[in-house]
């Protein structure tokens, strides 16, 4: 600031006593300044979120499961994560916030899970058997997510596969005699492992609407990578109707799908190529 004033606040100067402007702040610009500013902005934003959460917490009735809040609060409060997301330079004014951030984060986590129709699960001592925690409204236990290690319900797989086959036949002009049914079922099962708890029953309709909406993109994908296309043979998954459900999951839950795909021992390159082709090579631009 002193350096700026010495350079600019000379008699008759633009920033002098008789000038149009007065220097009120000076900021040094450097390659590191943008990162610092972003960090500061994130700190202010997250602190504002936590302040609002504390205010809301004071207005809420006591939790139906105080022991769960207590356990989660202890976890959040004792981790570096808690201190990292709240601005460390907020000073003594936020001492109360820091003292309650564990409880606040616990409430935010539980509210987020409830919004997605999910619940935490607990393991029985000794056996490791998982049990759903009772729903605080009904008292009835329900699982947090379908077990990623178990197969999807056969009836649901068939419904989703039927949607894929209907659209695949319309796009490609092929018939069921040309498809590998077992491989397609495997793709559908993997895709369904990334569907949230509240969605399985409605997912076939969701997928059907998505494939209708993106019919032109699917046709472009087939023209480029199907038999006779310019890049025929580059997408091994394009030969399976089940690839269509992967396209929807790639756009909806890409990281989750990638994790399940790898865990199931599938060829990573196959999904990576479909991912890139579907997202970046099916537009309406020239040559696509």
Compute, in degrees rounded to 10, the torsion defined by CA atoms 244, 247, 252, 254.
130
CB-based contact 15:22 (threshold 8 Å): yes
Structure confidence at residue 94 (pLDDT)? 47
Structure tokens at 21: 């402007």
> What was the pLDDT predicted at 95?
47
What pLDDT, in 10s, does the model give residues 49-94? 777 777 776 666 555 566 666 666 666 655 545 455 544 444 444 4
Structure confidence by residue, pLDDT tens digits, 6-61: 666 666 555 555 555 565 666 666 666 777 777 777 777 777 777 777 777 666 65
Task: Name the residue with higher pLDDT: 85 or 199.
Answer: 199
**pLDDT score at 4:** 66
Mean pLDDT along residues 168-189: 94
State how far the Cα of 158 lies from the Cα of 163, in Å rounded to an integer: 9
Q: pLDDT class for 186, splitting at 50, 70, 90?
A: very high
Q: pLDDT for 207-264, tens place per residue?
A: 999 999 999 999 999 999 999 899 999 999 999 999 999 999 999 989 889 989 988 8
252-277: pLDDT as tens digits? 989 889 989 988 889 899 999 999 99
The pTM assigned to this predicted structure is 0.52
pLDDT in tens, 103-138: 777 777 777 776 666 666 554 444 444 444 443 333
Across the range 135-153, mean pLDDT stands at: 46
C-alpha distance from residue 61 to each of 58, 76, 99, 169 (Å):
8, 21, 20, 55
DSSP 220-248: HHHHHHSTTSTTTTS-GGGGSTTHHHHHH
């Amino acid at each position: 600031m002193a350096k700026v004033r010495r350079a600019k606040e000379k008699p008759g100067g633009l920033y002098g006593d008789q000038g149009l402007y007065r220097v009120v702040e000076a900021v040094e610009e450097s390659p590191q300044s943008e990162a610092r500013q972003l960090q500061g902005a994130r700190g202010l934003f997250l602190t504002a979120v936590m302040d609002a959460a504390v205010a809301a917490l004071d207005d809420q009735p006591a939790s139906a499961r105080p022991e769960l809040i207590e356990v989660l609060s202890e976890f959040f409060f004792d981790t570096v994560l808690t201190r990292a997301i709240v601005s460390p330079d907020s000073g003594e004014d936020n001492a109360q916030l820091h003292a309650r951030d564990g409880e606040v984060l616990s409430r935010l986590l539980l509210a987020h899970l409830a919004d997605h129709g999910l619940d935490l699960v607990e393991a029985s001592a000794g056996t490791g058997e998982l049990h759903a925690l009772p729903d605080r409204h009904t008292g009835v236990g329900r699982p947090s997510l379908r077990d990623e290690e178990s197969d999807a319900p056969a009836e649901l797989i068939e419904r989703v596969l039927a949607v894929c086959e209907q659209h695949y036949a319309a796009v490609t002009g092929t018939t069921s005699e040309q498809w590998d049914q077992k491989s397609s079922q495997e793709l559908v099962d993997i895709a369904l492992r990334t569907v949230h708890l509240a969605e399985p029953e409605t997912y076939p309709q969701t997928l059907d609407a998505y494939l209708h909406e993106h019919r032109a993109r699917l046709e472009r994908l087939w023209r480029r990578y199907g038999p006779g296309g310019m890049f025929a043979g580059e997408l091994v998954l394009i030969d399976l109707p089940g690839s269509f459900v992967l396209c929807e999951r790639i756009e909806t839950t890409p990281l989750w799908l990638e994790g399940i795909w790898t865990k199931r021992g599938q060829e990573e390159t196959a999904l990576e190529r479909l991912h890139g082709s579907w997202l970046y090579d099916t537009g309406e631009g020239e040559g696509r």
